[in-house]
Amino acid sequence: MAAVKAAAYYGVPLFHRSKLPVLRGSVRSKRSATARSVRLLVSARYSQSQDFSTRLQDGVENLPGLVEDIVRTSMNTGPRGALRMAQGIQAIIGVGGEWLADMSKAVNSSSVRLPNELQLGLLSPIYLRRLFERMGATYIKLGQFIASAPTLFPAEYVEEFQKCFDRAPAVPFDKIKAVLLEDLGRPIESVYEYVDPVPIASASVAQVHGARLRGSQQDVVIKILKPGIEDTLVADLNFIYVVARILEFLNPELRRTSLVGIISDIKSSMLEEVDFRKEATNIESFRRYLENTGLTMQAKAPLVYRHCSTRRVLTMERLYGVPLTDLDSIRSVVQDPETSLVTALNVWFGSLLACESFHADVHAGNLWLLRDGRIGFLDFGIVGRISPPTWAAMEVFLTSFASEDYDSMASALITMGATDKDIDSKAFAKDLEKIFSSIQDLDTEIVVATARGGNTAAVSANVVVDERQMNALFLDVVRVSESYGLRFPREFALLMKQLLYFDRYTRLLAPDLNMLQDQRITIASSRRIRSAPTY
């Protein structure tokens, strides 16, 4: 019996007793059977010993690299790391107190079984989201990354982190002035005639103020990185990176999930977002695209004033307009909202190939109808670059989406989400049909009642609802696709999300328009992308 338990523990395949052959031979045959069992057991133990020995040897070989990486990362973090550690402990204690209070209520109630979020404690989506919000800018951004990357994270976490709003208390204006003075290297009054001390918006990382340039009298907006936020980001991201490295060292199986690679990508992406020189380059690239394609009379991106823009300060032309979801205000600017929407679609689709990068966040707060009737593209902090293979599959997807050919749509997604599994494309197509038929159920009557001066709160509320509905629909597509073993590149997620936004605008501004079949709308062909640069 002990041998049976040992064999089971070491993974030796055992026959069920009912399937064992009846032995009526000599004692010798019984002994030989016993000998075979012993040999199997010894072999299994030897195999396990070898695996452990191999893992140990790999661990010893990788340890110096791990230590070197931790030391280098810690040196780059500096003294800020200790402060963030203390703040982290404080946040954990705070959220832990909330969990204990909720646990006490649940235990005292009549419920028989504790909810899953209480059983998981601080690792549950709801408490982890609360912890991230207490930890501030870096973790709010990380939470938003989780919410926008359903191909990488579990659905319940993606859904919960959609509540991770990027709003924060305003930094006092005297601190904002200190950043301006330090980065510009000259008196603020020599650059701006006036800077409004009341911010237009305040997010976790940056704050935006209205201003007027001295000399030209041009109205501008200044995006300023909040003081100290970059040190905090570096400290937090380095800490997260070190944790990921240690986890992979302790559990080599995690290497298959590319945990360190994902964290490294998040780190580089977030650090790029707080370098406003990158955003300035994205804006200027889009403006060149408009000029080279003769679209400057149809669309506009703000002019960047480089002489008063730095890594932490971005000064841009101030654009005035209304979001594409504000139908009443749009009708006061143009007679035919449908024509404006067609223009927006053509400009955006054209940028997929003709521009170095495409705008990857066209929600209602970033896509406006300007007072002069042009389409305004704002906020180029999030952009995407598309590879030829992904676009080739995406083109088939768009065609099938327009014609509601779900069999072709399934085939395109299978091509895009490379997998070794054999997929039942017919069943996949039926599941996709169920999902996309639900698009019609989305609330399309949300109209922002924007005052002429601009109602920031109303626009923000609309953006939040837009984000949640679009994320929920895309999450359904990803969830079903993953059930068939498919995982898509991040560029597909970015493209798909923008299409869902445009679908919202279409049903609000031009209900009879089919944006993927209308002859007025030009969708770039994969035949052209072969000659386009790859990224």
Residues with catalytic function: 361
Contacts of 279 (CB under 8 A, 6+ apart): 223, 273, 314, 380, 381
**Contact between residue 409 and residue 480 where contact means Cβ atoms under 8 Å apart:** no
**Contact between residue 308 and residue 189 where contact means Cβ atoms under 8 Å apart:** no
* Three-state SS at 211: strand
CA dist., res. 340 & res. 337, Å (int): 5
**Terminal-residue alpha carbon distance, the chain:** 62
Q: CA 503: distance to chain centroid? A: 20
- The first and second tokens of residue 276, run together, are 């406003």
- The first and second tokens of residue 432, run together, are 């996709």
- The first and second tokens of residue 225, run together, are 């990185």
Residue 530 Cα distances to 23, 88, 223, 383, 534, angstroms: 71, 49, 37, 21, 9
Contacts of 534 (CB under 8 A, 6+ apart): 387, 388
C-alpha closest to that of 168 among 200, 193, 136, 194: 136
Determine how many CB atoms are found less than 10 A away from the CB of residue 319: 19
Q: Where are the alpha helices (DSSP H) in 109-172?
A: 116-120, 125-135, 137-147, 155-161
